[in-house]
Amino acid sequence: MQRREGRALGSTLRLLVGLGDDARTVDEAWLEVVRAFDDVDRAMSRYRADSELTRLNRRRGGAARVSRLLTAALATAERARRLTAGRFDPRVVVDLERLGFAAEPQAWTRRPTADEPVLCRAADGRIALSGPVDLGGLGKGIALRRACRAAAVSLPGTGFLIDAGGDIVTLGRPDPANAVSRWSIAIEDPSGGAEPMATCELPEGWAVATSSTRIARRLDDDGTMVHHLIDPRTGEPGGGGLVAVTVAFPDPAWAEVWTKDLFLEGPSGIGARARGRGLAAWWVGADGSLSMTPAARQLTVWVRSEVEVSARAASVVRRPPSPSAAIG
């Protein structure tokens, strides 16, 4: 298996290529992956002063012409807001700033209402925002989607995996000659343990994303732990009692949306909501317990022996993991 590594969107970026292609072809595919992430960075990064999104945020509701890439991303964010009943909403920048996570102060004079759309389209093709936007994980999911499509052109018939800081998209099989081979993904221990909590095997072409409090968190002035997963309905960190949620889904951008939606449901409602949508989801509680939906149990092949698993199914096999990549 060949590997290429770098950084993009503030995370590590890796390309793992299965059997069957030479180094030159893999290099070409890697350039396409990097280019796809660079395009998203220039369009959507809140941490770049010259990105399209930063410039649009600075207009504080004023209309402007932006690229089709950014317009489509904002339209996806608006659709996600509606489908999740506001659990996913990219207009949390003011709250992130208040909690110490913002990249740049947002001097907006008003806060959008919960039922107000993320973007407004003018007749001349310009768009305006109803509030400052952070595309964050959704932008990474869109970058993975674009990178996967671009790499597939350079690697026809070859299986590969792209990992962007634990959010992952796959295509094909690690070994094209082996009809049963699948990409094996480790679900990391959010407490920092060296051994993963579980291992799953993804169907061909699926992606996986995780929302976790493991990295972007800090102690508030009063000693309270705060994290970046803001509940748009309250303006405060949400998901009380959860520390990580992982979702496997056919599309990386929507896998990201569903992790946020489920995380903000909290431990009491996440199971019913995930099962109601038929999602393959794993979640870790503050007590270190691991839970999963029936769809996730079908993909899970190993669970660490000391991990307490809610409603463990007979399909979970205890065999040593050999993951292709880790998420968490």
What burial letters (b/e) apply to 129-144, b meaning 16+ CB within 10 Å?
A: bbbbbbbbbbbbbbbb
Alpha helices by DSSP H, 177-318: 252-263, 266-276, 294-297
**Domain extent for 321:** 182-327
Give the mean pLDDT of 294-317. Answer: 71
d(CA 187, CA 328): 6
d(CA 198, CA 189): 9
Say yes or no: 128 and 186 in one domain: no
Say yes or no: 206 and 286 in one domain: yes
Say yes or no: 222 and 319 in one domain: yes
Structural domains in the chain (count): 2
**Tokens 């970026």 found at:** 13
Say yes or no: 304 and 215 in one domain: yes
3-state SS class at 237: strand
Give the mean pLDDT of 203-224. Answer: 74
Interhelix angle 68-83/23-44, rounded to 10 degrees, is 70
How many helices (H) and strands (E) the chain has is answered by: 8, 18
Q: CA angle, 171 as apex, 183 and 42 as ends, to 5°? A: 115
Please choose, from the candidates 189, 185, 186, 88, the residue with its C-alpha nearest in 3D space to the C-alpha of residue 135. Answer: 88
Over residues 236-286, the pLDDT tens digits come to 787 788 999 999 999 999 999 999 999 999 999 999 999 999 999 999 998
186 is a domain residue: yes
What are φ and ψ of residue 268, in 5° steps?
A: -75, -30
Give the side-chain half-sphere CA count within 13 A for 255: 29
What tokens appear for 106 in the block? 């947002």
101 is a domain residue: yes
CATH number, domain of 194, equals: 3.10.520.10
Among residues 134, 163, 195, the one where a domain terminates is: 134
Write down the pTM of the prediction. Answer: 0.89
Is a pLDDT exceeding 70 seen at residue 227?
Answer: no
Give the side-chain half-sphere CA count within 13 A for 188: 23
287 is a domain residue: yes
d(CA 147, CA 169): 9
Over residues 164-187, the pLDDT tens digits come to 999 999 999 888 777 668 899 999
Weakest-pLDDT range from 133-142, 227-236, 306-315:
306-315
156 is a domain residue: no
Over residues 17-65, the pLDDT tens digits come to 987 768 899 999 999 999 999 999 999 998 899 999 999 999 988 999 9
- Tell me the CA distances in angstroms from 286 to 240, 243, 244, 246, 248, one per residue in order: 9, 6, 9, 15, 22
Task: Find out whether 274 and 264 touch, Cβ atoms under 8 Å.
Answer: no
Say yes or no: 123 and 188 in one domain: no
Please choose, from the candidates 253, 250, 300, 241, the residue with its C-alpha nearest in 3D space to the C-alpha of residue 278. Answer: 250
> Which residues touch 71 (CB under 8 Å, ≥6 apart)?
119, 127
Q: CA angle, 279 as apex, 273 and 283 as ends, to 5°? A: 70
